[in-house]
Amino acid sequence: MTTAYLNGDFQPLAEVRISPLDRGFLFGDGVYEVIPSYDGRPVAMQYHLERLRHSLECIHLSSAYSEQSLRSILAALIDQNGGGDLGIYLHISRGAEEKRQHAFSQLTTPTTFAYTFPINKPSDGSAETAQCCRVVTARDQRWGRCHIKSTALLGNVLHMMEAVHEGAQEALLFNDRDELTEATTCNVFVVRSGKVLTPPLDHEKLPGVTRRQCLEFLQAHTDWIVEVRPVTRDEVLSADEVWLTSSTKELAPVITIDGKIVADGKPGPRWSAAQQLFHERRFDSP
């Protein structure tokens, strides 16, 4: 049975109760993180807590917990769920108020909730362990604050369902200038003519921890040309390789886009080398 954490108490996940007036429930007024942990060891905890702090600042919410207490709570949660390979979901919403109204009070006590779920060990870079993805493309119709890791994910959910209806696992999203933003749960990298490209961070993309780690590892441990710059739809559609990055997937090769095969339809050599590097280095990140 999964043990969860809610506002100071560890309890069975199935018994966790929150108020229907919680603003997280009513408005999606909250932020979250998903942190992978392998053999009881969390990956890039510092980076995740930095991003959480940034998301909280963006929505003017002060957490009741210091970074150190969050670390201790999450360490205890991993322990109580038997260590192993887990995703840790950490969610801080603005909490419950007596009346449903858009404007929020600064006095509301935030709701802090966390639980774990089993995850698979990521690939070691070999073709047999690659989590290949089929994707569709779509005009990005989400909101203008995608840099906040908000629990309000309906835009992402609807885009993901467009992919699912086409038998795909993800949707690559493009802005009004036909530039790549990201996918519904991942950032995106493209390999073209020997260069690795990824779009720059702004309000249209979540600053992915895996994206950050991937850029750091490639810059420190390869002599590849890596460019952070806008990537056009044409560049994506004619790429040699496309990778999705996220904390639970690490790097996942895209094998079809809108039903058309990417290169030879197999995980590419750059993906293999980059995922192998990630596999060796994931715990280097603070």
Binding site for ligand PLP (CB under 6 A): 34, 156, 182, 184-187, 206, 208-211, 245-247
Q: Which two tokens stand for residue 181?
A: 């933003």
- Comparing CB distances to ligand PLP, the nearer of 97 and 184 is 184
3-state secondary structure of 181: strand
How far is Cα 116 from Cα 113, in angstroms, rounded to an integer? 11
In the chain, the N- to C-terminal Cα span, in Å, equals 30
> To the nearest whole angstrom, how small is the minimum distance from the Cβ of residue 1 to ligand PLP?
26
Region of residue 131 (phi > 0: left; psi between -120 and 50: alpha; otherwise: beta): beta
Side chain identity at 233, as an amino acid letter? R
> To the nearest whole angstrom, how small is the minimum distance from the Cβ of residue 193 to ligand PLP?
25
Q: Which of 174, 163, 170 is nearest to 141 (CA)?
A: 174
Helices (H), 85-187: 154-165
- b/e 4-24 (16+ beta carbons within 10 angstroms → b): bbbeeeeeebeebeeeeebbb
> To the nearest whole angstrom, how small is the minimum distance from the Cβ of residue 44 to ligand PLP?
8
- Comparing CB distances to ligand PLP, the nearer of 88 and 257 is 88
Whether 149 is catalytic is yes
- Comparing CB distances to ligand PLP, the nearer of 123 and 185 is 185
Please tell me the chain's helix, strand, coil percentages from 3-state DSSP, rounded to the nearest 5. 30, 30, 40
- Comparing CB distances to ligand PLP, the nearer of 37 and 95 is 37
> To the nearest whole angstrom, how small is the minimum distance from the Cβ of residue 54 to ligand PLP?
12
- Comparing CB distances to ligand PLP, the nearer of 182 and 241 is 182
> To the nearest whole angstrom, how small is the minimum distance from the Cβ of residue 185 to ligand PLP?
4
> To the nearest whole angstrom, how small is the minimum distance from the Cβ of residue 167 to ligand PLP?
21
Q: What is the full DSSP assignment across 119-134?
A: -PPPP-S-GGG---EE
- Comparing CB distances to ligand PLP, the nearer of 74 and 96 is 74
Cα within 13 Å of Cα(163), Cβ side: 25
Tokens 């699912």: give the residue: 164
Residue of 99, 149, 260, 266 with catalytic role = 149
Residues with active-site annotation: 149
